[in-house]
């Protein structure tokens, strides 16, 4: 048992407490720190999921009332990464951290996936560090700042800074934040702040929630019900993937999703979003929080309602049962919809909240007809001037193409789909009367070869701009070209890279864009 132990601050990372203990005792030998807490010099302290917490708590001086479970819930990453796992898996991880070693924790929490990003270094808020030094005489690593996807300090609204203290690997340096050089660099678009602060509010709710867990099946049922409420799923819970993809893409900025390693790409069917609702595998915590934010839901709503959503089978159809709410509450919601939309037709009122409409229409149809305004014939608007509309849309399309070309970050292929998403007038662009607009689109869309050339040129510019030495492997990695492993596409990419490198070295050699055109490339 050790003789002294530093006071633990609110939401302080356990690693931070150990670092302050080392400094308090003046320990130079890092092995001595391990020996003090575990009774042996072998082993190192794991930052994400520290082990043997019961053993560690038993070494703390009597009277502190610090248990292994208190350390687990209030000073480790356990609540964040296990909230959406089943009770059985969560208990297994908890038992491993409290009592023994278990090398499968990273697998169970889905952190071994290549699509899941864990912070490489510990983060800090420079204002928090300055305030801590003034009020406490020292600073500490805050747990909230280390969660995946948190880019801003929720207290001071400033961007978090990366230290040089490794977080991913086992760390035995035990460094305090007031021992490092404090920086204040802004590298994240301010536009993303409002999205991230809402994300952080969900993170706070998550780590402050109780230990209740849901099965993946119940979680997915809740998501399907919420999608049904906003018209993105059928009554039996079948999701409209294309509609969901389009609306989700418009809700979040593309660059923000890229920061969170949750980019959707251009193909709805192959995006993570449309594969998210299977009951086979646990999913990334970041994607859960992004989806809850998109649905304007919360952790508490999910864990309160998920088990009350039921699928009911019948001979002629499947129905998704709404949560058990009183009919009068539904009527109040319907009256509010009518009040807020006085000029809307019945079909428009119905589409605002289909779940409320369906419930009332099923159980009190007479009341629905009594209170809902009858449709009033509207005067038909003037006929459309298609020449004028064609000219307007042409300008919007030109601006959209220019935005796509000049967008910072990895290039996006100029295709009919990307142009439609950028303009926000998707279906209207399909009208055959937009002669000039459709003709312009045909001339600007990129073939696969043209896009690959532009992408490679961008990658080379980025590498050279960062002052790095250039090589084929760096170009492939920067441009994410390693997915093209065989066939004519790979040969085309290699030829383009070779030509670009020759041009850099002063050997003039033009790129033949259509050299390897074939049906397999299109």
pLDDT averaged over consecutive 10-residue blocks of the chain (522 residues)?
Answer: 86 93 85 79 69 87 83 92 88 86 60 66 94 95 94 95 82 84 88 95 92 89 91 88 94 93 87 88 90 95 85 45 66 89 84 87 87 69 79 90 87 89 79 88 89 88 86 85 76 85 65 40 33
> What pLDDT is attached to residue 135?
95
- Integer Cα distance of 420 and 414 in angstroms: 10
Q: Is residue 331 situated within a structural domain?
A: no
Q: Is residue 515 situated within a structural domain?
A: no
> What pLDDT is attached to residue 205?
94
Which of 428, 444, 460 terminates a domain? The answer is 444
Neighbours of 308 (CB within 10 A): 15
Does 391 lie in the same domain as 351?
Answer: no
- Integer Cα distance of 246 and 423 in angstroms: 13
> What pLDDT is attached to residue 382?
59
Instruction: Give the CA radius of gyration of the chain.
Output: 28
Does 461 lie in the same domain as 428?
Answer: no
Q: Is residue 194 situated within a structural domain?
A: no
Q: Which two tokens stand for residue 143?
A: 């747990």
Q: Is residue 204 situated within a structural domain?
A: no
Does 171 lie in the same domain as 23?
Answer: yes
Does 365 lie in the same domain as 343?
Answer: yes
Question: Using CB atoms within 10 A of its CB, is residue 277 exposed (0-12), middle (13-18) or buried (19+)?
Answer: buried
> Could you tell me if 305 and 323 are in contact, meaning their C-beta atoms sit under 8 angstroms apart?
yes
Q: Which two tokens stand for residue 89?
A: 């898996």
Question: Using CB atoms within 10 A of its CB, is residue 92 exposed (0-12), middle (13-18) or buried (19+)?
Answer: middle
- pTM of the predicted model, to two decimals? 0.59
- Integer Cα distance of 127 and 477 in angstroms: 36
Helix then strand count (H, E) for the chain reads: 24, 4
Does 138 lie in the same domain as 26?
Answer: yes
Does 49 lie in the same domain as 173?
Answer: yes
Neighbours of 434 (CB within 10 A): 22
> What pLDDT is attached to residue 120?
86
Q: What is the tally of structural domains in the chain? A: 5
Does 175 lie in the same domain as 54?
Answer: yes
Classified as helix, coil or strand, 176 is coil
Does 265 lie in the same domain as 240?
Answer: yes
Does 353 lie in the same domain as 248?
Answer: no
Q: Is residue 521 situated within a structural domain?
A: no
> Could you tell me if 130 and 122 are in contact, meaning their C-beta atoms sit under 8 angstroms apart?
no
Q: Is residue 4 situated within a structural domain?
A: no
Q: Is residue 8 situated within a structural domain?
A: no
Q: Which of 1, 7, 38, 9 is nearest to 172 (CA)?
A: 38
> 414 is in which domain, residue-wise?
386-444
> Packing angle between helix 487-504 and helix 472-479, nearest 10 degrees?
120
Distances (CA, A) of 163 to 23, 46, 123, 194, 387: 18, 18, 6, 24, 58
Does 130 lie in the same domain as 93?
Answer: yes
Q: Is residue 199 situated within a structural domain?
A: no
Each residue of 359-384: b (16+ CB within 10 Å) or e? bbeeebeeebeeebeeeeeeeeeeee
Does 96 lie in the same domain as 65?
Answer: yes
Does 429 lie in the same domain as 284?
Answer: no
């Amino acid at each position: 048992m050790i003789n002294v132990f530093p006071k633990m601050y609110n939401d302080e990372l356990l690693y931070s407490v150990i670092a302050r203990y080392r400094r308090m005792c003046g320990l130079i030998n890092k092995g001595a720190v391990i020996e003090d807490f575990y009774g042996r010099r072998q082993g190192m302290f794991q930052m994400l999921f520290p082990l043997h917490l019961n053993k560690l708590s038993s070494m703390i001086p009597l009277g502190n009332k610090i248990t292994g479970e208190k350390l687990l819930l209030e000073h480790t990453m356990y609540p964040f990464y296990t909230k959406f796992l089943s009770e059985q898996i969560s208990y297994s991880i908890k038992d491993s951290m409290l009592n023994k070693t278990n090398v499968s924790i990273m697998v169970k929490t889905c952190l071994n996936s290549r699509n899941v990003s864990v912070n490489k270094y510990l983060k800090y808020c420079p204002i928090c560090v300055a305030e801590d030094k003034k009020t406490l005489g020292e600073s500490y690593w805050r747990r909230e700042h280390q969660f995946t996807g948190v880019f801003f300090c929720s207290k001071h609204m400033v961007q978090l800074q990366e230290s040089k203290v490794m977080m991913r690997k086992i760390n035995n340096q035990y460094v305090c934040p007031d021992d490092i050089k404090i920086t204040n660099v802004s590298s994240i678009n301010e536009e993303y702040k409002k999205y991230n602060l809402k994300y952080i509010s969900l993170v706070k709710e998550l780590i402050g929630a109780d230990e209740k867990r849901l099965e993946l099946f119940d979680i997915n049922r809740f998501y399907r019900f919420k999608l049904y409420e906003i018209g993105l799923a059928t009554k039996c819970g079948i999701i409209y993937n294309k509609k969901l993809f389009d609306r989700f893409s418009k809700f979040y900025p593309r660059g923000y999703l890229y920061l969170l390693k949750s980019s959707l790409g251009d193909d709805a069917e192959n995006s993570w979003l449309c594969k998210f609702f299977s009951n086979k595998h646990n999913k990334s915590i970041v994607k859960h929080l992004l989806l809850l934010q998109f649905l304007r839901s919360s952790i508490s709503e999910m864990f309160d309602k998920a088990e009350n959503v039921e699928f009911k089978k019948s001979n002629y159809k499947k129905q998704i049962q709404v949560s058990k709410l009183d009919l009068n509450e539904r009527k109040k919601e319907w009256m509010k919809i009518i009040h807020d939309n006085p000029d809307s037709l019945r079909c428009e009122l119905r589409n605002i909240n289909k779940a409320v409409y369906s419930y009332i229409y099923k159980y009190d149809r007479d009341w629905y007809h009594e209170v809902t305004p009858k449709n009033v014939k509207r005067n038909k608007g003037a006929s459309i001037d298609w020449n004028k509309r064609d000219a307007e849309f042409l300008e919007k399309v030109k601006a959209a193409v220019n935005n796509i070309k000049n967008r910072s970050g990895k290039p996006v292929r100029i295709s009919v789909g990307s142009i439609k998403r950028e303009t926000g007038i998707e279906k209207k662009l399909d009208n055959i009367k937009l002669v000039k607009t459709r003709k312009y689109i045909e001339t600007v869309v990129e073939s696969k070869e043209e896009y690959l050339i532009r992408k490679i040129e961008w990658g080379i510019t980025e590498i050279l701009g960062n002052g790095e030495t250039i090589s084929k492997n760096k170009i492939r990695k920067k441009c994410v070209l390693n997915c093209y492993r065989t066939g004519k596409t790979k040969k085309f990419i290699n030829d383009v890279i070779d030509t670009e490198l020759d041009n850099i070295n002063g050997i003039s050699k033009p790129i033949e864009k259509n050299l390897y055109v074939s049906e397999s490339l299109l």
